[in-house]
Structure 1
Amino acid sequence: MVYVGILIVITVVVYLYKKSTAKESREDDMQGLQTFDKDGKINIDITNRLAKYCGKINALTLTGSVVDPAINGKDVWFSYTCNPKSTLDKYLNFSDIHIQTYFTYPELIVNGDTISWKFHNVERPFYSGSGSSLSMAEIVPHLRVTIYYGVY
């Protein structure tokens, strides 16, 4: 009977020891993503939840919106790409300093389950090498800006 009692005590001690060391190792082995601003404050912290891709938007107009119920009430993330069509070079050289200086990706606004976009600097014309100009409304479809979004 004494041996059984000692065996139970040893089992409990080993169990508690393993439980405490396992907890400590999980805290030390955190995974995820954290980004910080210049003052050291956290901008993004997704160490305790995963990001989910929901879709993409081809922003071919100066303004627009899409509805996606998957984003309603959640934190939304965005990423942009710009892949200009070769036809844009007929009008402008995309590497031209003029378009690099004044082109901005669209502003994005999330309201419930709706994502809206709006390009800025739309009143400024872009000049081609021949001296003619194009409005931002004429350029945006050729820029092929794609907005990828999701939730986390």
Structure 2
Amino acid sequence: MYQHSRTVVWAAGLLVGAAIAPLLSARPAQADETVAYCDLTEYAINVYRTSAADNDPAAYQMRVFWRDKAIIFVDQPADRTVIPEGYVYRNLPMPDNDGLIGEDEATWTLFVLNDETLPCFLFKQGALISRGPVTQREAPTPIEP
């Protein structure tokens, strides 16, 4: 009796494993790399890239987490601009044709300075809404001669 139950459990496990195996290989692992992270009072902003190539414009993503509502409401492709003072990251909003601009359709801009003693600045639709500590930043931009 015990031997039969053990065989049934083993066979069921084998069937479940065989059913799950194709699903695991269908989605390859992605190595997202955080390039900038700002830890603000209301928001946490993570700029990351899905490709190691700096020159790949499609590689950058911006994720905005709203602490009060405990939701990620922006996780979109981002534009990265290098300036002498640091980096500017801007999401590329995706309007939904209803004529209204929701949180996920707004333009969010993160300005991260090279100076490690200075905060980052978060803008929504061009207006400064918050600033706070940078917990991760890219290497400083080269200084122009």
Q: TM tier, shorter chain?
A: under 0.3
Whose relative contact order is higher, 1 or 2, with alpha carbons under 8 Å and at least 6 apart? 1
Larger Cα Rg: Structure 1 or Structure 2? 1
Instruction: Point out the structure with the larger helix share.
Output: 1
Instruction: Point out the structure with the larger strand share.
Output: 2
TM-score by length of 2: 0.27
